[in-house]
Structure 1
């Protein structure tokens, strides 16, 4: 039996739901803020070209101004020094961009500790309950941080000059990169690393290890609470920017529902 007609029927009958995991892009979308002397990306901005006026009487369009790593976005392997010889965003295999996804929920741990770091034993405990991580798929790390994504201050959670957001320990980042079959790692926070990742060894271990292993990152996801621990299919649609280190992306999941 052909597969695609059955998928379309399942979508129409709502046996398969499409869940949007993308943060809307606007001038208020939170962005990463690096301390001096490091350079920062620009905020997203629309610049109107015409809107049914003398500049163009029947059409409305804009120029967009944005960085590669603004809003919900993909980190390609070449984004980090450890992966500098790896794939750029236009070279990420399509089999990575449409792939199985699992969700590890750490919201209870993060609720009492915004600096919480995921450890190997946390992932192994998840595997003991739900089965192995998906080969060629994505591990999505749910922390509840998307509830803070409406304002820059809440999202970055800066106190005493340091950002306090959850992330991954160096040992876990290394293990995910080297010992698991996943192709990518996704988070709800502004970046795949913890807010205080510059204090870890190596610094920014998720970027260093996961991108260095030729795997991808995915950030600022929303609505992971609507996904099951296993069984979803993730669809990631970055712009194929030639030579780019990443791209804003529309990200959604296909989830089978019992009706």
Structure 2
């Protein structure tokens, strides 16, 4: 039996489970909010064209409008000024959209401290137990934040000082971009950076370091609790928007169940 035939059989018999890591995309999907002086992304909107009526008697369809970085989405290198000469989302090689994943679970720490930051030593400690991060794979950072995704207010968790959501320290972001073997970072929060990253030195270190190194981001992931620490295979499928800086994406994980 060929390798692909074996995979098809494993999927059919549920020995390999497909776990959907994608948040539903609707007008209620939380979106990032920038300071008022900056342009804001659009919420997801559907515009009905016809629904089995005089506008189209046999078909239902819609136009939609949304930002590239709304909901579960993919960040391409050209999303940030440090990667301005890098790939747009349509230029990301298709082979890089299927990759192994390491899942680092720090949901207990984030529950205690919404501003919790992942440090290099946390990753090193994880590697001592589970082995090295996968070459050309994803680091998926579980914080439990997906449980807040039904509420814009709870998801952004902002007060007078700004949003409070977990992320990576500047040192960890730089290490992940420049020294680690992974191709990108996946998170449950609205963006790859911590809520307080505007005040970091440098600001927004995940965006700056990852995009500047030609690496990628995945955000607003769900169901990371259903993945093992190692062994899952992630399929990230952004739309190939020419000149686009990113795209809402369907993100799936293949998990061997025995």
Q: TM-score, normalised by structure 2?
A: 0.99
Residue aligning to 1:252: 252
Cα distance in structure 1, aligned partners of 2:16 and 2:214: 31
Shift of 1:161: 4.2
Correspondence 1:131 to 2:104: no
**Alpha-carbon displacement from aligned partner over 1:185-204 (angstroms, at most 9, x marks no partner):** 10000000001100001100
Correspondence 1:48 to 2:53: no
Superposition pairs of residues 51-70 of structure 1, within 5 angstroms: 51-70=51-70
SS of alignment partner, residue 87 of structure 2: coil
Residue aligning to 2:107: 107
Cα distance in structure 2, aligned partners of 1:46 and 1:197: 32
RMSD (Å) for aligned C-alpha atoms: 0.6
SS of alignment partner, residue 218 of structure 1: strand
Residue aligning to 1:175: 175
Cα distance in structure 2, aligned partners of 1:128 and 1:84: 36
**Alpha-carbon displacement from aligned partner over 1:72-129 (angstroms, at most 9, x marks no partner):** 0000000000000001001111222101111000111111100011100000101111
Residue aligning to 2:13: 13
Count of aligned residue pairs for this structure pair: 258
**Alpha-carbon displacement from aligned partner over 1:21-58 (angstroms, at most 9, x marks no partner):** 00000000000000120111000000000111111011
* Runs of 4+, deviation exceeding 2 Å: none
Cα distance in structure 1, aligned partners of 2:111 and 2:188: 14
Cα distance in structure 1, aligned partners of 2:252 and 2:145: 18
Q: TM-score, normalised by structure 1?
A: 0.99
SS of alignment partner, residue 248 of structure 1: strand
Residue aligning to 1:215: 215
SS of alignment partner, residue 208 of structure 1: helix
Cα distance in structure 2, aligned partners of 1:15 and 1:225: 18
Cα distance in structure 1, aligned partners of 2:104 and 2:93: 24
SS of alignment partner, residue 90 of structure 1: helix
Cα distance in structure 2, aligned partners of 1:130 and 1:54: 60
Shift of 1:159: 1.5
SS of alignment partner, residue 41 of structure 1: coil
Cα distance in structure 1, aligned partners of 2:222 and 2:2: 32
Cα distance in structure 2, aligned partners of 1:23 and 1:161: 27
Residue aligning to 1:121: 121
